[in-house]
Amino acid sequence: MMMAARSGPVWLADSPATTGRLRLNPDALGVLAALSGPLRVVGIFGPRQCGKSYLLNSLSGSTDFTVSSDDCFKTPIIFMSCLPDPQDPETTLVLLDSEGFEGDMQALEGRSCSPVFTLCLLLSSVFLYNTWGPVKCETLDQLLHMTFLTNLVTLPTDEQAKETFLPEFVWCVRDVDLVMTFGNIQLVPADFLDSVLNDIQDQQSPSGFVCQIFHRSRMKLLDFCRPKANVEDLVSSSSSELNPCFIKQTETLRKLICRSKPKAFPDGHSTNGRELVTLMEQLVDCISNGSVMDLSNVTEQCEPVDNTTTVSLRDQSNTMNKVELSDHLNAPLEDDHSKKALLLERKNPMVETVTYLSHAERGSYIPALRPKDQEPAALEDELQVRSEPVVMQAPICLIENSTKNELVTNQQALNILSSIKQPVVVVSIVGMYRTGKSYLMNRLAGMRKGFSLGSTIQSETKGIWIWCVPHPEKKGHTLVLLDTEGLGDVEKGDQRNDHWIFALAVLLSSTLVYNSTGTINNDAVLKLEYVTELTKHIKVKSRHEAEDEASSEYLRFFPSFIWAVRDFTLDLEADGKPITADEYLENSLKLKSGYSKEVLSSNSARQCIRDYFPSRKCFVFDQPVQKEKLKIIDTLDDTELDANFVKQATEFCTHVFNNSQAKTIKGGITVTGRLLGNLAVTYVDSIRSGQVPCLENAVVALAQIENSSAVEKATSLYRQLLKERVVLHTETQEELSQAHEGCLKEALEHFMNHSFKDEDQRYQKILMEHIKEEYKMICQTNESFSQNFCTALLLQLEESMEPEEFYMRPGGYLDFKTDMEKFVQMYRSTPGKGIKAELALEEYLTGRNELGKVILRADKNLSEQQRQLEAEQARAEVERCKALAVAQQNAVMERRLKDQQEAQRENERQLREKLDRDYRSALQEHNRVLDQKLREQNALLREGFNKESEKLQAEINRLREMTRPQERSGGGGKLCVIS
């Protein structure tokens, strides 16, 4: 006798709404015709999205049928899967999954789906009507297809023949928990079904037809709870993640199916696949002819006339019209069936499945364990310390100077900056309008065109424009070029925004290029009045500070300074000797003697440049081309430019590339593109609100943004790493704890690298609380998965035991005791149970011990003394199991306590390292400021300004005092600990 190997699923039949015809798939018929043994055929029907496919998969211990997440099937269709019956090796289990039916059966379009429903019903030996709750007559009345059944077939008139041919009717009510008590009365699901059937008033209603067609003894109702709380990832969930109650309810249905009789015809003989194929073909012929199929003589109708034709149904397709065959097979696969049909190569999910076992298999049952990922998945880009450089094809406006003279940030530019995770070297250029600033910036970008060049006396650039390019020399850095609106444009009328543009260029850049033409004379210095006004437009601290203190603080924030002198025509000489451009600049910045208003004004500008920009550089440039070619300079090659200019421009670019540092803020914090964008928004918002941008407040605001983000990303990193490195449930707590330690370390490192100015470790404490909660939840989930797995395993192994009534006889207790010992041994020898193994067993044995007491009292072969001895041994065994469960749980709790202690030590270690790094960085910055003040003092002494030098000495003394050993709190507060 032939028994089919597992096959499918494949689409068996459908009924397009456009034709109303019933179409059969020859390939599926060939599979079915090859089944010569008895068949148990389980068909399922019901509204869409109520879990039909998932229930069939649960019954078969497979993932054959695709669980759809949307209503993708508009055409009614049946899918078929065949597998050996686990209860009877000589029988084949055929599963029929119906799709494409409306949830509201009143919404049927004609009767196109009734043939498919009728076919599913006639083929089945067990018919599952699957719906959501509640259990009431209205839900049963949704089965509108029952009223159309007699339009297609005539049922046998003999009640015995009809009962034999028609399937058992099982109403599966999903996601409900039936209340099984009514006062002191204990209810069963059959009581709910009786209540519904007794309420039926209209015998012509769908529920009335159900009562007429199916005998009450062959109707059942089963309730199913929700498989798990979150059903979104239900398909990929392992059995240990499911509600044990759902597993038990599914087992009840599986037992019902295993006890059911194979599919039989009205005369009582069990059918084979060949006869079912013939039945299907007869039904198709009747529907095509418009006639009603009489099922009274179905046995004679389904006798094959030629054995060769029925066995080789696959070959029948060769005799069909080729166009018709193509339409038959290909058309449905291209539309409705493409998502489920012919799913013969399915990727196995990494889940545990407690499959249904035959009696022969139970003795050697070992649950399959999920394989672990061999390699962790790559982390998300946003969690990487560095990212690929951003390349902009052209500059865009970062801060617009609107027609109303209001500054506005451009969100598109901010988005670009936000995507830059690398440190940024920010070079900005300022200067009078129409002095060639944009052309110089284009050369830094390595392009002829980019920033707009003007060819008239009108200023071309408005606001601040940005261009981000990969840094040509510093790997892992982005070069950010800022081209600013020309200063002193008479057409603007109101010059207030000139000061703000200049101030923003200073605040945002790490190198500031001041571009002017001609020479650096007294007039040129006086034109740099914007420097003397900086203190009016930039505030270092939110509180009031002394002038000398403010000067030192500016040095911590302000960029290096380059003066670019364009169209320079003089010889670089002093006192008849050649000098460098830098010496030329320093000579021009020397203070003048005297106390006249003009001298004081001139010296004020010079002193501000010296105080605020101690790191200074100067480049002079010849005129690049003749005046008439300036209009087309962006089209000219270097060979067409003045050779001296090309050399000077190259030296300028080389210096900027090699010497301009990454932008930092107070404390030596390196600025990324995202930080730069946040800085721009913070400063512009202050200006728009009428306030003076405060550097200290800006850093605090940035710290809040960045530290919050660091907490969020570090928490996500911990969660992601733990998910990659651990497959729940774990066999031991140690396995989970070791993974937790590694993930915690990396998450903390990420936070430390991306946070700054965390006063009192406020954000670090928040992070540790988040990780503590994440770990607590993962531990609870691990316990839950282990508990569910063990419960399912215990229910599975319980099948190896004889029924309870078997032991209710003389000598039954010793048999029960022997079987229980084998049961416990089999349970304990099964790997993969996890940390709730002993607790689950102890809870189970406590219940079984009560049964053992009943069996012991019923065993007449034992004397009273023997009963007492056996009872005492049973109690001792239960106590031993309790002790093992307590020991296992104590070991788990001790390891978790150790986890907390290790987390505290790791947190403190990384905090100390960060505080040391921050202290060294702050000390380096402080020494840089002190060194610059000392050099300025020496310069004043050389120039004969002793009074100014003495004044500066007080500031130097203050800076030196600050370098004395002090408590390195890095923001104060004690170390953050986790409890």
d(CA 565, CA 427): 17
Q: Check residue 546 and give its pLDDT.
A: 52
What is each CA distance from 540 to 126, 552, 972, in whole angstroms?
82, 10, 21
Q: Check residue 961 and give its pLDDT.
A: 77
Higher pLDDT pick, 346 / 463: 463
* CB atoms near residue 220 (< 10 Å): 18
Tell me the Cα Rg of the chain: 42
Token representation of residue 510: 């790490």
- For 427-449, what is the mean pLDDT? 87
| Res. 491 pLDDT band, cuts 50 70 90 | low
**Helices and strands in the chain, H and E counts:** 34, 24
Q: Are residues 835 and 825 in contact, defined by beta-carbon separation less than 8 angstroms?
A: no
Closest by CA position to 751, among listed 736, 766, 738: 766
Q: Check residue 718 and give its pLDDT.
A: 92
Closest by CA position to 484, among listed 538, 435, 428: 428
Buried b (16+ CB within 10 A) or exposed e, 580-604: ebeebbeebbebeeeeeeeeeebbe
pLDDT tens digit string along 537-548?
777 766 555 555
| Res. 945 pLDDT band, cuts 50 70 90 | confident
Closest by CA position to 268, among listed 299, 293, 300, 301: 299
Q: Check residue 618 and give its pLDDT.
A: 95
| Res. 515 pLDDT band, cuts 50 70 90 | very high
Q: What pairing do the DSSP bridges indicate for beta strands 616-620 and 560-566?
A: parallel
Token representation of residue 532: 């003397």
pLDDT tens digit string along 629-648?
878 888 888 888 999 999 99
For the chain, percent of residues with pLDDT exceeding 90: 20
Q: Check residue 376 and give its pLDDT.
A: 36
Closest by CA position to 944, among listed 577, 594, 596: 594
| Res. 324 pLDDT band, cuts 50 70 90 | very low
pLDDT tens digit string along 228-239?
877 677 777 777
- Would the pLDDT of 940 be above 70? yes
pLDDT tens digit string along 755-768?
888 888 889 899 99
- For 405-410, what is the mean pLDDT? 87
Higher pLDDT pick, 88 / 776: 776
Beta strand ranges found along 228-375 (DSSP E): 293-294
- For 18-36, what is the mean pLDDT? 81
pLDDT tens digit string along 614-630?
888 999 999 998 877 87
Instruction: Find the angle CA(488)-CA(490)-CA(493) to the nearest 5 degrees.
Output: 105
Q: Check residue 127 and give its pLDDT.
A: 95
Q: Check residue 634 and give its pLDDT.
A: 80
d(CA 42, CA 123): 8
What's the CA dihedral at 568, 569, 571, 574 to 10 degrees?
Answer: -70
Token representation of residue 185: 């009365």
- Would the pLDDT of 101 be above 70? no
Q: Check residue 361 and give its pLDDT.
A: 32
pLDDT tens digit string along 28-62?
888 888 888 789 999 999 888 888 888 888 888 87
Q: Check residue 480 and give its pLDDT.
A: 96
Partners of 93 in beta bridges: 40, 83
Q: Check residue 245 and give its pLDDT.
A: 84
- Would the pLDDT of 513 be above 90? yes
- Would the pLDDT of 338 be above 50? no
Partners of 481 in beta bridges: 427, 467
Q: Are residues 869 and 940 in contact, defined by beta-carbon separation less than 8 angstroms?
A: no
- For 1-12, what is the mean pLDDT? 64
d(CA 482, CA 501): 11
Token representation of residue 611: 């105080």
State pTM to two decimals. Answer: 0.53
| Res. 183 pLDDT band, cuts 50 70 90 | low
Mean pLDDT, all residues of the chain: 78
| Res. 976 pLDDT band, cuts 50 70 90 | very low
Which residue's structure tokens are 């009428």?
690
Cis peptide preceding 134, ω within 30 of 0 = yes
Closest by CA position to 295, among listed 58, 119, 512, 36: 119
DSSP helix/strand/coil, 935: helix
Q: Check residue 673 and give its pLDDT.
A: 92
Domains of the chain: 7-339 (3.40.50.300), 388-693 (3.40.50.300), 787-962 (1.20.1000.10)
What is each CA distance from 2 to 38, 89, 273, in whole angstroms?
10, 11, 11
- For 541-566, what is the mean pLDDT? 72
Q: Check residue 162 and give its pLDDT.
A: 87
pLDDT tens digit string along 211-220?
889 988 889 9
For the chain, percent of residues with pLDDT exceeding 70: 81
Instruction: Find the angle CA(290)-CA(295)-CA(298) to the nearest 5 degrees.
Output: 105
